Amino acid sequence: MKLHSKFLAGLPIRRKLIVFHNLFFLILVLSLYIALRTPLTQIAARSAQQEAELMAQIFERYPGAVRSVQSDRFTILDSKDAELIITPEMRGWLNSNPGRVWRDRVMIASSAIPTFRLIRFDTNDNSFQVIALNAEQYIQLSRRLRWMLGLALLAVYALAVIALEMFILPRYVYHPIQRILRADEALQSDAIAHELIENRYISGDELGQIMASRNATVKLLRQHEGELKNALGQVEEMANDLKRKNHLLETAKQNLASQDRLVSLGLMSAGVAHEINTPLAVLHGSLEKMIETCDQPTNEDRLQRMLRVTERLRGISESLTDFARARTQTMEAVKIKPLLDEAWSLASIEARHLQLELINRAENTDVVIGNAGRLMQVFVNLFKNGVYAIKDGAKASQAAKGSGKLCVHTERINQDGKLWLQITIEDTGAGIPPEILPRIFEPFVTSRLDANGTGLGLAVTAGIIDQHGGLIVANNRAEGGAKFEITLPMPA
């Protein structure tokens, strides 16, 4: 039993149904054949009995006519043979009923069809007349009826199987199951256009209910999938916003943490600058007079080098003073594009021997709230950094002349209902060394490869941006070079 169950469990539904309905119809055909075989034999037997009764009536009324007819349906026995089959009982009845016919029923071995002998006593010649009916034709009739029954049942069986397999089961069972399987394959392969079963194929039976329930489940699944996708999008947007706010908060914390140190550093810088300015002025003036009166070229070269050193010290002193000075500034609407062009005209003086190009993609409508003079100082510092970075890169690669580009582009940002303008300045220089990138805006931190950098330019720049309520961030470009992102408030 378990073997049969495993065998059937491994068959497709169509083969299972073929096995089941063929088995059912075969049992039905055999049952009908067995049930109808006996009634058909009884019909043949009744026909033989009816014919015997009819012959008996004719034999009683027209005995001479029957004896004159020759037929294979009956045999007329002579008186000698007739005497052999007449029993005393028959003889007594026939003598008592002259002219009447005795009907003798005789069963043939291996046959359910009886044969009849009709016996009559003729008073004219005092002899017995016997007619033996032939039962073979009724035996053949019974066989033909059984054959016809078997053929008819086989024909009905074949027609029923063909009707089931060609029309009924494909329409109501096989095709609906195939549609469900195809829809499931489409669902698994994410073919959204074919994952639902069309309503015209959904019937009112149990398979139709399964189809309708499946369609409803798939629609609900897609709805939940869409809601989940929207929720994930919102979570991702919130995560990005939180990341940006955390960055701003971290920057603010760093600024607050270094504020006291910068104040102290500014006071010290102002004191140092004040103390060295007077002796530097005296030294610078004395060197200029000595150069004017010097008549030896060797001594003049030495004096020129000393003069350049004093100018270098004066530049450092001015940077310290500028870093320490707290200026009051007027804030107003400032157009960025012309300010960038003017800043480049000042910074490009340092690049007159270089093949440099500024690509200014700022919009004419880009406006921020700030002080034009202080913002000019910011852009000049950043442009100079880009020029020196390209020059240093050219020296490192042993190029005859430095060549490169500085690119400026802007983007408007709406953060919590407030408008900001992000100004991005990129260069094609050597980039910022990774070891100083986290401290690039601290005082006295420089990436310059020569002795011209004081390390205060970017610190002053960051201070100006902070006074404007903005933010400056430094990074390296993936393609090479540095990138500075400045975020400033826009007019409401």
Banded pLDDT at 267 (limits 50, 70, 90): low
24-38, 211-225, 264-278, range with the lowest pLDDT: 264-278
For the full predicted model, state whether its pTM sits above 0.85: no
Q: What is the pLDDT of residue 3?
A: 46
Q: At 209, phi and psi to the nearest 5? A: -65, -40
224-228, 318-322, 401-405, 479-483, range with the lowest pLDDT: 318-322
Tens of pLDDT, residues 87-117: 788 888 877 887 788 887 776 656 667 777 7
Residue 419 pLDDT > 70, yes or no? Answer: yes
State the DSSP string of 173-221.
IIHHHHHHHHHHHHHHTT-GGGSS--GGG--SSHHHHHHHHHHHHHHHH
C-alpha dihedral sign at 147, 150, 153, 154: negative
Q: What is the pLDDT of residue 399?
A: 46
Give every strand in the sheet of 403-415, ordered side by side.
Answer: 355-360, 403-415, 418-427, 482-489, 471-476
Q: How far apart are CA 318 and CA 393, in angstroms?
A: 28
Q: Which residue has the higher pLDDT, 249 or 72?
A: 249
Question: What percent of the chain clears pLDDT 70, i.e. is strictly above it?
Answer: 78
Q: What would the mean pLDDT of 128-137 be, rounded to a whole number?
A: 76
Contact 404, 387 (CB under 8 A): no
Q: What is the pLDDT of residue 241?
A: 84
CA neighbor of 339 nearest in space, from 390, 388, 389, 383:
383
Contact 431, 446 (CB under 8 A): no
Tell how strand 114-122 and strand 101-107 pair up.
Answer: antiparallel
SS3 string of 72-117?
A: CCEEEECHHHHHHHCCHHHHHHHHHCCCCEEEEEEECCCCCCEEEE
Q: What is the pLDDT of residue 1?
A: 46
Q: How far apart are CA 120 and CA 98, in angstroms?
A: 8
Q: What would the mean pLDDT of 131-149 be, rounded to a whole number?
A: 81
CA neighbor of 388 nearest in space, from 399, 407, 404, 408:
404
Tens of pLDDT, residues 171-189: 888 888 888 888 888 888 8
Q: Which residues contact 480 (CB under 8 A, 6 or more apart)?
A: 428, 429, 430, 431
Structure tokens at 399: 């190029």
CA neighbor of 458 nearest in space, from 447, 470, 467, 469:
447
Residue 203 pLDDT > 80, yes or no? Answer: yes
Q: What is the pLDDT of residue 398?
A: 47
Q: Which residues contact 277 (CB under 8 A, 6 or more apart)?
A: 314, 317
Q: What is the pLDDT of residue 475?
A: 92
Contact 118, 133 (CB under 8 A): yes
Q: Which residue has the higher pLDDT, 317 or 359?
A: 359
- State whether residue 433 is helix, strand or coil: coil
Structure tokens at 402: 């430095």
Q: How far apart are CA 56 and CA 364, in angstroms?
A: 133
Q: What is the pLDDT of residue 436?
A: 86
3-12, 24-33, 309-318, range with the lowest pLDDT: 3-12
Q: What would the mean pLDDT of 124-148 be, rounded to a whole number?
A: 78
Question: What percent of the chain clears pLDDT 90, i.e. is strictly above it?
Answer: 14
Residue 423 pLDDT > 80, yes or no? Answer: yes
86-95, 306-315, 342-351, range with the lowest pLDDT: 306-315
Element spanning 483, H or E: strand 482-489
Structure tokens at 272: 């140092």
Task: State the residue for tokens 């024909």.
Answer: 155
Tens of pLDDT, residues 211-227: 889 889 988 988 898 89
Q: What is the pLDDT of residue 465?
A: 92
Contact 104, 134 (CB under 8 A): no
Q: What is the pLDDT of residue 448?
A: 58
Q: What is the pLDDT of residue 449?
A: 41
Task: State the residue for tokens 């109501």.
Answer: 172
Residue 233 pLDDT > 70, yes or no? Answer: yes
Q: How far apart are CA 141 and CA 149, in angstroms?
A: 12
**Residue type for position 357:** E
Q: How far apart are CA 411 and CA 379, in angstroms?
A: 17
**Residue type for position 425:** I
Residue 156 pLDDT > 50, yes or no? Answer: yes
Residue 136 pLDDT > 80, yes or no? Answer: no
Contact 303, 294 (CB under 8 A): yes
Q: Which residues contact 255 (CB under 8 A, 6 or more apart)?
A: 466
Contact 324, 270 (CB under 8 A): yes
Q: What would the mean pLDDT of 278-304 be, rounded to a whole number?
A: 75
Q: How far apart are CA 167 and CA 163, in angstroms?
A: 5
